[in-house]
Amino acid sequence: MLTVIVGGFFGDEGKGKIAGYLALTGDYNYAVRTGAINAGHTVVYNNRVYRLRTVSAGFVNKSTKLLVPPGALIKLDVFFREVEELDVRDRIYVDYNTGVIEEIHVAREREDPVLRAIGSTFQGVGAAMADRVLRRLRVAREFPELREFLVDVPLVVNEALDRGEKVLVEGTQGTFLSLYHGTYPYVTSRDTTAPGILSEVGVGPRRVDHVLVVFKAYVTRVGEGPLEGELSVEELEKLGWIERGSVTGRLRRAAPFNFKLAERAVVLSSATCVAVTKIDALFPSARGVKSWDKLPREAREWVEEVESRLKRPVVLIGTGEQLEDVVDRSRDLGVEL
């Protein structure tokens, strides 16, 4: 069984929390983290805050094996720091062909006027991707220090599916940062929709059971580019919608939930179901609630509006930072995640 998690807006929708929650409650055998180190996924679990840039949020389940696929990009210092901090050395695997970002890529981006104009995170990801396309990027199998981690990720994933095991694929960033489908040129250096995520892993669309698109209860964006309905910092403070980027620390721009974008995200990734995070930002009395019946009526009505507009079941609703702060409707709605 395969579930792919996709960001529905501009990243920072809470995919890390959703991936961690599913890995734990759905007891996934494998969790694959796509994308690169420009994307930070935050997980708050057992009173600790984890900011992950390479390792899947699925690490919270100690029996889940962690994979870094060929389409991802790692940086050795970030990789080893995370592996040691999370103590996952004995259960993380990297594909032979995973791209490796080097200092030269970071240096090259800092000089780049276009990346300055779009508000890049300057982690070297775009420069490394450019080198990959030009066939000069070094990949994992060229680094002796990675030897003990190397596997054939597409084979591992497809064979696990053949055995009937469960695989969670954690996408990064959001639909509208996609190189092809986003607000070009204010986008990142990869396709962030489900097809792009699957291609990074090496698994075909017919093997996918659930495409779970994650939206936050409001839209945020870091860096430049269009943001319909953008609110002022004063308005954000009043609403309690102030957030900072987990990799760069920059203030996130924000706007109300955007149905038009959400509908398009559902189409671009062929979503089968949807998650909505941070509903407590809209309805404070939803905070920490873990069952549908206990949500305030306005919150339930809002979720039902999302369902009817998107024509997809809202299977998970985030009600707080902690991993367990979730209203899980999957079983009630007949979706086995």
Rg (CA), the chain: 19
Q: In sequence order, what are the residues at sequence separation of 6 or more whose Cβ sits closer than 8 angstroms to the Cβ of residue 191?
A: 178, 179, 180, 181, 197, 199
Q: How many CA atoms lie within 13 A of 134 on its CB side?
A: 8
Closest contact distance (angstroms) between CB of 246 and ligand IMP is 8
Q: Of residues 40, 99, 174, 318, which one binds Mg ion by CB under 5 A?
A: 40
Residue 268 interacts with, from Mg ion, ligand IMP, none (CB under 5-8 Å by kind): none
Rounded CA-CA distance 162/207 in Å is 10
Among this protein's residues, is 12 annotated catalytic? yes
Residue 193, binding choice from ligand IMP, Mg ion, none, Cβ under 5 to 8 Å by partner class: none
Near ligand IMP by CB under 6 A: residue from 60, 115, 261, 273: 115
Stretch in the footprint of ligand IMP (CB under 6 A) among 60-68, 73-81, 119-127, 299-307: 119-127
Closer residue to ligand IMP, CB minimum distance, 11 or 195: 11
Does residue 332 carry a catalytic annotation?
no
55 binds ligand IMP (CB under 6 A): no
Active site residue: 12, 131, 325, 328, which one?
Answer: 12
Of the candidate residues 74, 177, 208, 310, the single one contacting ligand IMP (CB under 6 A)? 177
Can you say whether the dihedral through the CA atoms of 66, 201, 223, 130 is positive or negative? Answer: positive
Kindly write out the interface string for residues 209-228 of this chain, putting x where it contacts ligand IMP by CB under 6 A and - elsewhere: -------------xx-----
Task: Select from 130, 150, 169, 138 the least CA-distant residue to 29.
Answer: 169
Dihedral-angle region of residue 311 (phi above 0 means left; psi in -120 to 50 means alpha; beta otherwise): left
C-alpha span between 210 and 274 (Å, rounded): 10
Q: Which stretch binds Mg ion (CB under 5 A): 28-36, 37-45, 110-118, 315-323?
A: 37-45
The residue (of 226 and 249) whose beta carbon lies closer to Mg ion is: 249
- The binding track of 127-166 with respect to ligand IMP, each residue x by CB under 6 A or -, is ----------------------------------------
CA distance linking residue 310 with residue 187, whole number of Å: 24
- Does position 272 bind ligand IMP by CB under 6 A? no
In the stretch 7-46, what mask flags binding to ligand IMP with x, by CB under 6 A?
Answer: ---xxx-------------------------xxx------
CA–CA–CA angle 269, 273, 274 (5° rounding): 90
CA–CA distance from 264 to each of 169, 172, 176, 224 (Å)?
21, 18, 9, 21
- Whether a cis peptide bond, with omega within 30° of 0, leads into 256 is no
Q: Minimal distance in Å, beta carbon 282 to ligand IMP?
A: 21
